[in-house]
Amino acid sequence: MAETFIHNRQLPVGSQGHLASGWWGMLMLIATEAMLFAYLLFSYFYLASHALSPWPPNGPPSLRIAVPGTLILIAGSVVMWWGERGIERGKTRRLIVGLSLALVLGVLFLVLQGSEWKGEPFTLRTNVYGSLYFTITGFHMFHVIVGLLVLAVLLVWAARGDFDANRHSAASIGVIYWHFVTIVWLAVFFTFYIAPRLG
């Protein structure tokens, strides 16, 4: 008769950090999305260089909403980084706070961006500039919404206690995506708000 031995050990953690397949999957997703934004921004600068009339037609967009929105998005990345560092040390509550704050800041960014959209003197169909402006900022807003959904799922998992110092790859991968969203906005912000002011 064979004897059965039961070992009271935890299951293996699995791949972490750069060895996790999800990490590489997220990097590939970011690479493809970065190319999309690179093409869109190239289109903007190409058409701007060939414009026969003033570019932008109504002058550069106001910084009144864009600057606070930019600072809010950067703050969201900072609190996500802070939360991720917390879970690496086994501080689940710190991750929950970081995710919650990033969610609130992301929603606030969307509200500000929507408010700015409503106040623009042009539409998607007014001219080439308007088409580029709403297409590029719209694609970015879509990525922010996806990022908020990712953060919401991570927050639910963190609240359930699914993460600890050894098991937090999903949270780290989500943070990478949120940083990407912030970096893309900085490129969009420079393109639409700063570059026209530099001549």
CATH number of the domain encompassing residue 172 = 1.20.120.80
In a domain, 187, yes or no: yes
Q: Using one digit for the tens of pLDDT, what is the confidence trace for 86-97?
A: 988 988 999 999
Q: Using one digit for the tens of pLDDT, what is the confidence trace for 59-84?
A: 888 899 999 999 999 999 999 999 99
In a domain, 12, yes or no: no
HEC string of the chain equals CCCCCCCCCCCCCCCCHHHCHHHHHHHHHHHHHHHHHHHHHHHHHHHHHCCCCCCCCCCCCCHHHHHHHHHHHHHHHHHHHHHHHHHHCCCHHHHHHHHHHHHHHHHHHHHHHHHHHHHCCCCCCCCHHHHHHHHHHHHHHHHHHHHHHHHHHHHHHHHHCCCCCCCCHHHHHHHHHHHHHHHHHHHHHHHHHHHHHHC
Asked whether the predicted pLDDT for residue 17 surpasses 60, the reply is no
Q: How many residues are recorded in the chain? A: 199
> Angle, nearest 10°, between helix axes 63-88 and 169-189?
160
pTM: 0.86
The per-residue pLDDT for 192 is: 94
Rounded average pLDDT over 3-27:
63
**Number of domains forming the structure of the chain:** 1
In a domain, 18, yes or no: no
In a domain, 102, yes or no: yes
Looking at per-residue pLDDT, the higher value among 106 and 161 belongs to: 106
Q: Using one digit for the tens of pLDDT, what is the confidence trace for 25-57?
A: 888 999 999 999 999 999 999 999 988 888 898
Q: Using one digit for the tens of pLDDT, what is the confidence trace for 94-144?
A: 999 999 999 999 999 999 999 999 988 888 888 899 999 999 999 999 999
CB atoms within 10 A of CB 147: 22
pLDDT level of residue 7 (50, 70, 90 thresholds): low
Domain that holds residue 140: 38-48+60-198
The per-residue pLDDT for 5 is: 53
Asked whether the predicted pLDDT for residue 10 surpasses 80, the reply is no
Alpha carbon 82 to its chain's center: 16
The per-residue pLDDT for 165 is: 80
